Amino acid sequence: MASTVLVVTALEDVTADWVIAALNEREVPVVRVDPADIGPTLTFGFRIGADSPAWGGRLRTASREVEVGEVAAVYYRRPTPYPARFEHLPQQQREFAAAEARHGLGGVLNHLHGALYVNHPSAVTAADFKPAQLKRFAELGLHIPPTLVTNDVEAARKFAADHERVIYKTFRGLPRSEDGHTGAIWAQRVDAESFDDSLAVTAHLFQAEVPKTGDVRVTVVGRKAFAQQVAAPDGALDWRRGDWEELIHAPIAVPASIEAALHSYLASFGLVFGCFDFALTGDGDAPEHWTAIECNPNGQWGWLPDAPAITTAFADILSTEGGGRP
């Protein structure tokens, strides 16, 4: 029976380290691979045919080797993008080599027969669009903030006039700059008087500000949910913009109807795991006090106080369900 867990991630990934350590304690076979290492230290030979309709063959890293037919579960974390492997090549060669690696190696690793994916990269991609998230939240009966997606200045001005306070947030994080640095644009209040025709350049996301009493991060792994109320010492609109070491955490109970909706949400996208953000407008006891903001289908959770319990939940689902589901 297949029993190996394949962990697909970059070399420096503390979150994956914790899950691998938990699997090692259970003596579950683990192979860690970063597909962008393709080359002398990452080789493979995969086969398929009419007499063997599932991919087979061996994958070899510098320290591990696995028969892909023995992979029962794939923990897909944060692998290095393929283009990084070929940065030394001219543009055309770089794009060709990266595409071939992604469609060849990635194409096999993303379609292993009978393997449990946490989460499958195609499911992550589908669930990573904020408009899709908000639509699904609303369909499941969750409260969401009034939202406008636009590149029209008059539409933005009218939306701002209809709501007392409006915030702007990005759809995605800032890409890495040419010098290798990364940055972020945090959720922020905006003034309609600052709107001009430059909005037409790209899409913008505006939302009515929720008069929140707090924020909640709910991490769902399989059938388990872990919820923490999160607050910044300075009461910032977006708690992510400050020092995460200074954040104030407190466990909070999730109303049964909210938790049920989150499980339905994950199932609808084919996800096993997700990090949900909510804004509270009361003490959190009633479902109507919970406003769904977004879900990161591959979110970070190592910074949370209940990270040890979340690690155990990941090890449980990868080793139990992945290692021989009924």
Same domain, 27 and 97: yes
Residue pLDDT, tens place only, 232-258: 887 778 877 777 778 889 999 999 999
The pTM for the full model equals 0.91
Indicate the residue among 189, 209, 229 that finishes a domain: 209
H-assigned helices in the chain = 14-25, 91-109, 121-126, 130-139, 153-162, 256-269, 307-316
Q: What angle do CA 199, 205, 207 make, to 5 degrees?
A: 120
Nearest Cα residue to 224 out of 301, 288, 313: 313
Indicate the residue among 185, 209, 233 that finishes a domain: 209
Indicate the residue among 209, 226, 257 that finishes a domain: 209
What pLDDT does 49 receive?
Answer: 93
Same domain, 199 and 269: no
Same domain, 180 and 297: no
C-alpha–C-alpha distance, residues 313 and 222, integer Å: 8
The token duo for 86 is 């070929």
Residue 324 lies in a domain: no
Range of the domain at 264: 127-143+212-315
Say if residue 125's pLDDT is above 90: yes
Residue 218 lies in a domain: yes
CATH number of 151's domain: 3.30.1490
Say if residue 322's pLDDT is above 70: no
First to last CA, the chain: 12
Residue pLDDT, tens place only, 60-70: 999 999 999 99
CATH number of 49's domain: 3.40.50
Per-residue confidence band for 173, with pLDDT thresholds at 50, 70 and 90 = confident
Same domain, 151 and 198: yes
CATH number of 291's domain: 3.30.470.20
* Residue 103: strand, helix, or coil: helix
Residue 322 lies in a domain: no
C-alpha–C-alpha distance, residues 228 and 316, integer Å: 21
What pLDDT does 326 receive?
Answer: 30
Total domains in the chain come to: 3
